Amino acid sequence: MQTRDKLYIDGAWVAPHGRKTIDVQSASTEDVIATIPEGDEEDVNRAVAAARAAFDAWAATPVAKRAEYLQKIHEGMKARADEIGRTIAQEVGMPLKLATRIQAGSPTFTFSMYAKMAPGFTWEEKVGNSIVMREPVGVVAAITPWNYPLHQIAAKVAPALAAGCTVVLKPSEVAPLNAFILAEIIDSVGLPKGVFNLVTGYGPVVGEAMAKHPGVDMVSFTGSTRAGKRVSEVAAQTVKRVALELGGKSASVVLEDADFAAAVKGTMSACFLNSGQTCSAHTRMLVPESKYAEVAEIAAAEAQSYTVGDPMSETSKLGPLVSGAQRERVRSYIRKGIEEGAELLAGGPDAPEGLAKGFYVRPTVFGRVNPQSTIAQEEIFGPVLSIIPYKDEEEAVRIANDTPYGLGGGVWSKDEAHAMRVAKRMRTGQVDVNGAPFNMLAPFGGFKQSGHGRELGAFGMDEFLEYKSVQFRPEPKPESAKR
């Protein structure tokens, strides 16, 4: 068992203010695999003071030098990729092969992406008689979730550092061990003290202290919509910038002219990835009424291919959920779907056979789901797919847009121009056509209660920059030009 008893503040591993600790459980065995410090407001105050003191020098550091540090962090993460993948597989439950490729590979790429991007970024430009400059927003409080823990950390920390900001990070207490690995790597590359700080603890204590702190210039938060609303409320007292990446209830719209076998398989893959613990998961599949029976049969059969088991096993396609609380939440939604009259095509609320221990849930598919029902409107965050029939394309678009969220989505059609017309009508931050892969260079974020602001690519770095315009008197026109 690991014992993490220090926080990373002002370039050093330091004892926390309090003596309380938080247990970290294995998602697959329910065993306690580590303890971490339960930080408090005093720890936040120390971290913010360090970040504040480091800001001016870091902001003045040449962009090329900042990029060098990011590249070194990338290299350190790459060298420890197997360890990161294994750690997150234990914490979160994603099968090891996927965890190494996605949970370790994505954040490693992110640091490299910003290392390459920063030197060529447009930091200032001439607009009329003004020089418009982009400058770092200041001290950033980054509050991150447990489902893609290091990916979400990297999506905030890397662009913030590239922009010239200093950072205080609070990772999720449910999956925090990967953040300690990152802090070790950052320490090893010699990043100036105070530029990056790590404080672990609970959201209502550490997160709130960060959001309200007058020394913090911006909060970048990823998590539930409920918690995001609270962050906004607290941060508003000091009128600091807030970026929110929140929940989703994404629709996969399967059009009449789609390849239905590919659409069902692709949608279920986008729904069940990471055991459904993905904010942009395609959890609603909208299909033509005339094709419902065919789709239901394909989906029920496809669900059987999702082998549930130990994330360390080569044969497991679906691991456990992250915690006992999450398991009970998902099972309660499955029971609610049955109570509300949806057709249960696969799965159900009972534990998978032979897996009484561990936070496992059966991959579940509901058919003929009422678009206004609980399971069609609320984010479940588990391997639960709702199939919703529609009469025509107009109704499909209306249903797709008729939730409080707007984060992801998909369109399936053999005609890409047709798919594009539908994609343009969907009120959501990202739309995948025919199962197109995730693009790390494209902006990620949502409409409506899925949040505001964007992450990744150049768009993600813009979030951490302020615009300043400096005006000069226009050059007087020569006399000859006046005639």
One domain, residues 223 and 262:
no
* CATH number of residue 14's parent domain: 3.40.605.10
483, pLDDT greater than 90:
no
Q: Which of 279, 302, 379, 463 is catalytic?
A: 279
In a domain, residue 205? The reply is yes
One domain, residues 213 and 284:
no
Greatest CA separation for the chain:
92
One domain, residues 319 and 198:
no
Parent domain of 384 = 250-433
397-430: b (≥16 Cβ within 10 Å) or e:
bebbbebebbbbbbbbbeeeebbeebbebbbbbb
One domain, residues 463 and 377:
no
Alpha-carbon Rg for the chain, nearest whole angstrom, is 24
Q: Which residue has the higher pLDDT, 280 or 18?
A: 280
One domain, residues 139 and 284:
no
One domain, residues 175 and 318:
no
Q: Which of 91, 208, 245, 302 is catalytic?
A: 245
One domain, residues 194 and 74:
yes
* CATH number of residue 424's parent domain: 3.40.309.10
Q: Are 284 and 410 in contact (CB under 8 A)?
A: no
Q: Are 316 and 310 in contact (CB under 8 A)?
A: yes
435, pLDDT greater than 70:
yes
Q: What are phi and psi of 248, to 5 degrees?
A: -155, 160
The band of 482, judged by pLDDT with boundaries at 50, 70 and 90, is low
**Residue with tokens 């121009």, as numbered in its chain:** 417
Strand partners, 386: 284, 366
Told to judge if 279 belongs to the known catalytic residues of this protein, a careful annotator would answer: yes
| pTM across the whole model | 0.96
One domain, residues 266 and 324:
yes
pLDDT of residue 476: 80
End-to-end CA, the chain: 84
How far is Cα 123 from Cα 422, in angstroms, rounded to an integer?
36
What amino acid occupies position 123? W
One domain, residues 230 and 298:
no
Question: How does pLDDT run across 401-419, given as a tens digit for each residue?
Answer: 999 999 999 999 999 999 9
The band of 477, judged by pLDDT with boundaries at 50, 70 and 90, is confident
216-239: b (≥16 Cβ within 10 Å) or e:
bbbbbbbbbbebbebbbebbeeee
pLDDT of residue 438: 96
Number of domains forming the structure of the chain: 2
Question: How does pLDDT run across 329-385, given as a tens digit for each residue?
Answer: 999 999 999 999 999 999 999 999 999 899 999 999 999 999 999 999 999 999 999
Q: Which residues contact 358 (CB under 8 A, 6 or more apart)?
A: 27, 28, 29, 30, 310, 320
pLDDT of residue 480: 64
One domain, residues 307 and 241:
no
- Which structure tokens are listed for 47? 């971290």
How far is Cα 299 from Cα 294, in angstroms, rounded to an integer?
9
The band of 465, judged by pLDDT with boundaries at 50, 70 and 90, is very high
Q: What is the mean pLDDT of the chain?
A: 97
How far is Cα 274 from Cα 152, in angstroms, rounded to an integer?
14
Give the length of the chain: 483
Question: How does pLDDT run across 396-405, given as a tens digit for each residue?
Answer: 999 999 999 9
How far is Cα 199 from Cα 197, in angstroms, rounded to an integer?
7
Report H helices in 164-224: 177-188, 208-212
Beta strands in 159-217 (DSSP E): 166-170, 196-198
Question: How does pLDDT run across 231-283, given as a tens digit for each residue?
Answer: 999 999 999 999 999 999 999 999 999 999 999 999 999 999 999 999 999 99
Told to judge if 245 belongs to the known catalytic residues of this protein, a careful annotator would answer: yes
* H or E element in which residue 425 lies: helix 416-425
Question: How does pLDDT run across 110-164, given as a tens digit for each residue?
Answer: 999 999 999 999 999 999 999 999 999 999 999 999 999 999 999 999 999 999 9
One domain, residues 217 and 336:
no
